[in-house]
Amino acid sequence: MPVRNTRVMSPAEPAPTSRQSWMLLATVFLVMVGFGIVMPILPFFARRFGASPVQMGLLITAWAVAQFVASPFWGLAADRVGRKPVLVAGLFGYTFAFLGMALAQSYGMLLAARIVGGLLSASVLPSAQAIAADLSAPEERSAVMGRMGAGFGLGFLVGPAAGGALALAGPLVPFYAAAVASALALPLVIRLVAEPPVDARRAAAARLGAGALAQALRSPELPLYLMAFATTFGGSSLFSMLGYYAMDRAGGTPSDVGVMFTALGLGSVVAQGIAVGPVTRRWGEVRTIRAGFTAGAAGFVMVALAGSVASITVTVCMTSLAMAFLRPSLAALNSRTTRLGYGTSLGMQTSFDSLGRTLGPLCAGTLYNMDRAGPFAGAAAVYLLAAASALRMRDGGGRRPTVPR
């Protein structure tokens, strides 16, 4: 399949406008608002069809597994067909998924809508990140990725609150509202986001076709993919067990848990939106990643040792701040070091990211049954392994850091 835009741009040449970066930020914010809107009502809606707790968990897991499978192929499509068409397809996927859930008449139909929605929506993150990488100079890429991460986080903070309020008007209203939020992002992308020029890496990925995915798994960026897995594995372990841990360890109430989630979410949004850029410009992505994994491991240990609502809240926020620096720094470093197209490489990284979100809660639940502190100790061990791997990366002293095989 030919690449539509044939102008070749040198890898270091930044795109001319920052307005599109803000349009991407607005797009991912609206997408995550829609995603978050349905989360509070989904368990109640599933119960209407007699879904068990295991079946409810499957609804959550199915979305992440579908994105794990589809993300690399969407990333490759972003290099071959174009970033903008793939992003538009993902936004249609989100809209279709929420409408499908609203119209479901059985648990099977609800599960099918989640799976199809996950497969289609998996294109949004790699294509949006690829456009952001095309639009930004290498030294500014972490800041741009951080702002996009802040948009995701802020949307997920706003979404559940809006979903709980909308549910008062009827159980289907949040699903239709989520579809509208995703649909609102379509004109932003269609009218205001231009297809970036084709650089040499993207052209090479287009020529390789499906072989680019196999090459990505053999590339020097594989440690970055594994670090992306470690990042979300630890984060999802924390998020999935935090409510149980606060109740069982410190007698926390639902309002206490709500405050914890709000605090860690706001801290992450602020860190990604404001602090990631200055920190990575001063330290570089490699040292920021090392510090993030080391501080994250220490944070998980402190969560495991915390014994009161206040101490759990503080240590969780510290851990969340450390994690906030990892994802944008990994994405930026990936785009700077890869010899493949941004879409292909970032799509593969998104796939490992989804795998971490899939396996993290499963492992955390198993460890929690053995010991309450188990999920956090396990996450600390994973982060320490990632930190040790990051020590082998070389900053290079230039514009293209190097990653060991």
Q: What pLDDT, on a 0 to 100 scale, did the predictor assign at position 397?
A: 37
Helix axes 374-390, 285-305, angle to 10 degrees: 160
In a domain, 54, yes or no: yes
CATH of the domain at 290: 1.20.1250.20
Hey, is 170 helix, strand or coil? coil
Nearest to 281 by CA among 328, 319, 220: 328
163 and 224 both lie in a single domain: no
Judge contact between 28 and 155, C-beta under 8 A: yes
237 and 150 both lie in a single domain: no
Both tokens assigned to 8:
């070749």
Q: What pLDDT, on a 0 to 100 scale, did the predictor assign at position 16?
A: 38
Hey, is 25 helix, strand or coil? helix
Q: What pLDDT, on a 0 to 100 scale, did the predictor assign at position 205?
A: 59
Q: What pLDDT, on a 0 to 100 scale, did the predictor assign at position 15?
A: 38
Structural domain span for residue 51: 16-211
Both tokens assigned to 318:
């510290």
204 and 259 both lie in a single domain: no
Domain final position from 166, 188, 211? 211
29 to each of 25, 37, 106, how far by Cα in Å? 6, 12, 30
Domain final position from 188, 211, 234? 211
Judge contact between 296 and 326, C-beta under 8 A: yes
Hey, what's the torsion of the CAs at 354, 356, 362, 367, to 10 degrees? Answer: -170
Flag residues of the chain having pLDDT under 70.
1-18, 53, 198-212, 395-405
Residues 15-34: tens digit of each pLDDT: 334 677 788 888 888 888 88
Q: What pLDDT, on a 0 to 100 scale, did the predictor assign at position 225?
A: 92
